[in-house]
Amino acid sequence: MNAFLLITIILCLAIYHVSIKAFNTKCTTGVYTFSILTSLSCALFFTLTGGNLSFSSSLIPHAAAFAVSYAAATVGNVIAIGCGSLSLTTLIISYSLMLPTVYGLFLGDPIKFGFYPGLALLLISLLLINKKGEKTPINGKWVISVLVSFVGNGMCSIVQKHQQDTFDGGKKHEFMILSLLFVALILFVFMLIKERKDLKTCIRYGWLWGIICGITNGIVNLLVMVLGGGEIPRIPVSVMFPLISAGGIVVTFIMSKLIYKEEMSKKQLIGFVLGIASVVFLNL
């Protein structure tokens, strides 16, 4: 059963990223509208699976901080996938686990076994990926967008850790629902400013992919909590996260090759493989 849930997480991660790419091929605008649809769909998923919910005003600061981080991560991710490689975007954003790791070191956490080899492989991977090849060129818009998503995604993990520490592992569903509603509210303001004229087109081409993204994102978060939550996790965290991270990257890479015919230069491909190894080491 645990293996089935793990495979489901990996497949949902890949479907999430491929759905973003599918939206970008249909619509050249509507980043904020699409992200709102994704956030509301995910909030609905957590509402339906949350059972007896009990909200608290003490969740608001954590939810607000998470919402800002999540909004940046989502919007940056959508833009990066739209203007660059799906495979490389997924890989770089996976590096965001470095931020909670470094943050933990400042708080006095012990240095993990895989930190230094993982960091070395990460740096080599970045150097190889950024070698401009004929097949997958790197552009400034992609770099900025993927960095915004990188920081936002890493901050999400840090805020989640604070929330779980503060509430002794409780209020997961309530925290996610409140946060995602805040995300939708933040992005709604940007949507009115940037995309009001294109709203009908964005909804027409984005509603299905936005719902798919929201549901798959919700499934991933829920199953991670199921497998890794509690005093005795069903799968050790040191095993689960390397498998999820590396598995999601590999499956997304395969889908990008099969569906969108993405190609990389030899140096970028080597950097991609080293990047997967880096993600595994950093999770050990």
pLDDT for residue 134: 46
- pLDDT (tens digit, 9 = 90+) per residue, 77-107? 999 988 888 888 888 888 887 787 777 767 6
pLDDT for residue 132: 53
- pLDDT (tens digit, 9 = 90+) per residue, 138-167? 678 888 999 999 999 889 888 887 887 788
> Phi, psi (5° rounding) for residue 51?
70, -135
Contact 201/27 with Cβ under 8 angstroms? Answer: yes
The residue-averaged pLDDT of 101-115 equals 70
Model confidence, pTM: 0.82
Name, in order, each residue with C-beta under 8 angstroms of 55's C-beta and a sequence gap of 6 or more. 174, 178
- Dihedral over Cα of 152, 153, 157, 163: its sign: positive
pLDDT band at 239 (very low <50, low <70, confident <90, very high): low
- Would you put residue 30 in left (φ > 0), alpha (ψ -120 to 50) or beta? left
The Cα–Cα gap between 269 and 266 comes to 5
Give percent of the chain with pLDDT exceeding 90.
Answer: 28
The residue-averaged pLDDT of 222-238 equals 67
Averaged pLDDT of the chain = 83
- pLDDT (tens digit, 9 = 90+) per residue, 38-74? 999 999 999 998 878 888 889 999 999 999 999 999 9
Residue 124 vs residue 242, higher pLDDT: 124
